[in-house]
Chains A and B, each alone.
Chain A
Amino acid sequence: MGKKRRLRKESASLGPPLTSNRSLKELMATHYLLSRYAQGAMPVAWVTSGAPVEILRPFDFYTFYPENHGALCGAQKMGPELCAEAEEHGYHQDLCSYARIDLGHYFSGKTPVGRLPKPDLLFAANNICQTVVYWYKALAEYWKIPLILFDTPYNFGEISEVDISYMVRQLEEMIPLLEQISKIRFRYKRFRKIVGIAREASLTWGEVLSTMKARPSPMTIFDAFIHLAPIVSLRGLPAALEHYQGLLAELKDRVAQGVGAIKNERWRLMWDNIAIWYKMRDFSNLFAERGMNFVTATYTNAWTETIGYLDETKPFESMAKAYSLVILNNNLDHRLQLMERLIQEFQVDGLVIHSARSCKPYSVGQYDLRRLITERLQIPTVVIEADITDSRAYSEEQAMVRLEAFFETLEG
C-alpha cells in the first residue's frame, strides 16, 4: 500500500504546482538520458555556466554542465559525499563545492544520474569566477583532453573596444580547433541562427521572470531556480526556447486568473546569490507558511540580463558584450543599481542574502551592498551563511535564528 504515497508533503500554504514542471522534468531527463548515447556518437563538451556555448552548437557538440550537475547533486543531498571524495584527493574544503562535486565524480564515478558522458573538450569562461580556470585545467590534465578558455576582462566601469576585439579574436581562434575536434565544418549562417535562438530564449526567460511582478506572483523563485536549467544548459537549442514559451503561456494564464504561487502572499522578497540546493523544499515551505514569496533574484535574472545583447547580425561582437557584462564579471556599483531596480520593479519588501561559502565572486561585497540597500531603500535585510551544495557548511540553528529575527522585523 503506502508505497506510492509521497514521502514529503507539500505545504498547505503553496498554490497549485505548475504544469510546466512536468515538461521541464521530461526535457532535462531526456537531456541527461541522451548523454549515455552521446559518447562516441557526437563530440562531447563540458561547459561552464557562463561560457559562450553558442559557438559550440554549429559543431553539434553534446554539451554537459558540471555546475548544473552539481546543483542536481546538491538537491539530491549528495553534496557532502561527493565533496569528501575530492577532499580525500587533496582538494581543500574552501574550494567551490561545484568543483569538488565534479572532481569527486571524477575520482569516484558517483552521480545521481547514472553515468556522465566523458568529454572530448572542456570549455570554460572566467566571467563567473577564476576557480573554473583551475578546476577545468585539472580536468584537462586528468583526461588529457583540450581545454578552451574564454578570457573575459572584468568590467570596472565601461567596456572598451579593445576588450571587445580581444574577445572576438578569441572566439575566431576557437573555430579551427572546434572544426578539428568535431570534424564538422563551421557554417556561419547556422551559427547566426543559433545566436538568434539563444537570444530569443533568453528574452523569453526574462518575460517569464517578469510575470512575477504580478500580485500575487504566479511563481516562486524556488520554481524559477528549477526552471533555470534549460537556459543554462540547453541555451541555443530550440527545445529550451519551446519550454519557456510554454511556461510563459502558463504563467500569463495564472496571472489573468489571479492564481498565486503561494496561497496568501503578504510579503514579497528578493533572493541574492545561488540557491541553497539542499534546502529548497524546506525554505519554500518555511516562507510560504508566513505568506512570504520570493519574487525576484539576482541569480535567475543573470540569464536574461545580458544575453539579450546577442545580435545575430553581429554574432561575435554581441557575444563578447553579452558574456563579459554578466553580473559576476561586473563591478559592485552595477550590482547595487541592478538590485535597487529589481527591488523597485518587483515591489520587494525584504531582502534575503545568501553568503555562499563556495561562490566567492558572488559573496564578496554583500555586506556593503546590504548596508547601502538598507540605508537607501529602508527595507529589512538578512544575511544567511550557507553553501550551495555542501550542507556541512550550513548550520540550521544559526540560519533559523537570523531568519526568524528577519521575519519579526518584517512583520513589525
Chain B
Amino acid sequence: MNYFGGIDVGAISTEAVIIDEGDEISGYSIVETGANSTDAADEAFGKALLAAGIHRDAVSFIGATGYGRVSVPLANKTVTEISCHALGAKYLFPDIGTVIDIGGQDSKVICVGDSGKVLDFTMNDKCAAGTGRFLEVMASKLRVSLEEMGGLSLHAKAEAHISSVCTVFAESEVVSLVAKNHPKEEIIKGLSRAITNRVSGMVKAVGVYGEVTMSGGVAKNRGVVTLMEEQLGKPIRVYTEPQIVGALGAALFARRQSRAVK
C-alpha cells in the first residue's frame, strides 16, 4: 500500500496528515511550530506516521504548505495554503463552495470550484486583526485558555462592545473593561464579535457560494462559529479536526502529483 503525506507549517502550529491510496486519512498530528520550521515539520510528520502505524518508506510523495513550506526538506512539492485549504475542504464536504480559514497569522476566504480549484480568494491585510493571534493575545490577557474561550462566549448573558479590530487597541479596550469588572464571558463574546465582523467583511467581498465551511484553529471556537453563522445567516460545517484541513489538502495534492509523475 502506498501512502501520501501533507505537512502544513503554520505560524503557531504545524500539522501533518497521511492518506492512503483511497484518499482515506490514515493518521495525523498537530504540534507547535516553535522556533524552527524544519524541526516542527519533522516532528509532526513523525507523529503522523506513528498514528498511521506505518514506516517512513511507505510514504511515496509529500506535499508541504503553510508559511514554512519552503523549510520542509522532506517535501517533494510545495503548494500554497490557499489551494490546500480549498482542496482539503472540498474533499471533506463535497457540496461546499466557500471556505473560511482562520489561522494563527492570517485569515482567508476562498471560493472553491467543483474540482476543488480556487476560483477566488481574499486574505486579511498586513495586521493581526481577525486572526487566531488576536484571540491568543486576548486569551492570555484574560487568563483563559484558547479552548475555554468558545464555551465562555456561548454562556455570556450580554456582550461587551469592542470597537477596535486592531489587536493592540482591542487589548487596551479589554484592559479598561477588566478594570471596570466587566464579566469575562461578555468580554470574550465581544471579542468573538470583533473577529467575526472583520472576517464576514471578507466573506462579503468574495461572496457566499454554496455551503460554507470553517477551517483552521479558530474553527474550534464554537463561540466564533456560532456568531459567524448568525452573521452569514447560514449553517457552517466544521470538520472534527479543523486544524488539519490544510495538511489534508497538501496530502491530496501529493497524491495527485504522484499520479501525474507516473
Contact = CB atoms under 8 A, between A and B. Distances in A.
Interface of A: 367, 371, 374, 381, 383, 385, 393, 395, 397-398, 401-402, 404-405, 408-409, 412
B82 interface: yes
Interface string B113-149: 0000111111101100000000000000000000000
Interface of B: 67, 79-83, 106, 117-123, 125-126, 205, 207
A393 B117 contact: no
Contacts, number: 38
Given A371-B207, A412-B117, A401 B126 contact: no
B122 A398 contact: no
Nearest to B67: A397
Contacts of A405: 80, 82-83, 118, 121
Given A371-B205, A371-B207, A401-B67, A408 B80 contact: yes
Nearest to B115: A412
Contacts of B119: 409
Given A397-B67, A401-B80, A404-B80, A409 B126 contact: no
A371 B207 CA distance: 9
A401 B123 contact: yes
Given A404-B80, A405-B83, A409-B119, 5 more contacts: A374-B120, A381-B120, A385-B126, A401-B106, A405-B82
A272 B82 CA distance: 23
Contacts of A371: 205, 207
A404 B84 CA distance: 12
A405 B253 CA distance: 14
Contacts of B80: 401, 404-405, 408
Given A385-B126, A397-B67, A402-B123, A408 B207 contact: no
Contacts of A381: 120
A409 B207 contact: no
Nearest to B113: A409
Contacts of B125: 385
B122 A383 contact: yes
A395 B117 contact: no
A37 B122 CA distance: 51
B83 to A, nearest CB: 5
Given A383-B122, A395-B126, A398-B126, A408 B205 contact: no
B67 A393 contact: no
